Amino acid sequence: EVHLLESGGALILPGGSLRLSCAASGFTFNNYAMHWVRQAPGKGLKWVSSINKSGDIAYYADSAKGRFTISRDTSKNMVYLQLNGLRDEDTGIYYCAKDLGSGQIGHWFDPRGQGTLVSVSS
Amino acid sequence: IVLTQSPATLSLSPGERATLSCRASQSVSSYLGWYQQKPGQSPRLLIYDASYRAAGIPARFSGSGSETDFTLTISSLEPEDSAIYYCQQRSNWPPLWTFGQGTKVEIK
């Protein structure tokens, strides 16, 4: 069974940094692109970042460019999201999702974890 | 590409048919997906490529449409279908993913 376990969320001051982690199990990690999706409190879903299955191409929403970095470690079946220069508007639950298909980068998210909460506040 | 969902809220009784709409600001071909999110849970993929049900999704959920106009239909509502439903697309290149603002389905 596919399982994704996010961690690393915390209460952090504006301008601070965090590294979110996502531990993947139950599927062949190398075969899938991975994604991060955020949900602000009481709000809808917003895509943040994606990384292709090879791990050599990353994609970012405009709000994340220059501040966030996505990476993956095949040896550990882990995906990371480094958050720098955090702002109030980065607050929310961050969900890790595997891609539905097995291409380099696909269209659809398959989220299987409970997310990790990032709260940016002074 | 902006996705606009309607209505914002749908209040129906068990057994009724629910019809949710998603309109794209420009053509997305058939690259439109639907997600269900229940309170306190992560979203779940229901439909991809406009009309294909994801694994394990009940047959009462169906998707249709192409280009700019899409519909998610729940043929006969069950109490457990109470949730917020989001549509989503990915632009061709560079890949950028966007969601609609969601439709809340309430079961009377």
For residue range B73-89, list pLDDT tens digits in order: 999 999 999 999 999 99
For residue range A34-56, list pLDDT tens digits in order: 999 999 999 999 999 999 999 99
Q: What is B27-74 written as a DSSP string?
A: --TT-EEEEEE-TTS--EEEEETTTEEPTT--TTEEEEEETTEEEEEE
Q: Do A111 and B42 touch (CB under 8 A)?
A: yes
Residue B31 in contact with partner chain A when CB distance is under 8 A = yes
Residue B102 in contact with partner chain A when CB distance is under 8 A = yes
pLDDT at residue B80, as a whole number: 97
pLDDT of A103 higher than 90: no
B13 burial level (CB within 10 Å; 0-12, 13-18, 19+): exposed
Average pLDDT over residues A46-67: 97
Contacts of residue B42 in chain A, CB cutoff 8 Å? Answer: 95, 111-115
For residue range B59-71, list pLDDT tens digits in order: 999 999 999 999 9
Average pLDDT over residues A84-88: 97
Round the average pLDDT of chain B to a whole number and report it: 97
pLDDT at residue A102, as a whole number: 85
Residue B30 in contact with partner chain A when CB distance is under 8 A = no
pLDDT of A18 higher than 90: yes
Round the average pLDDT of chain A to a whole number and report it: 96
Choose the mutation target among B1, B57, B97 for the interface with A, i.e. most A CBs under 10 Å: B97
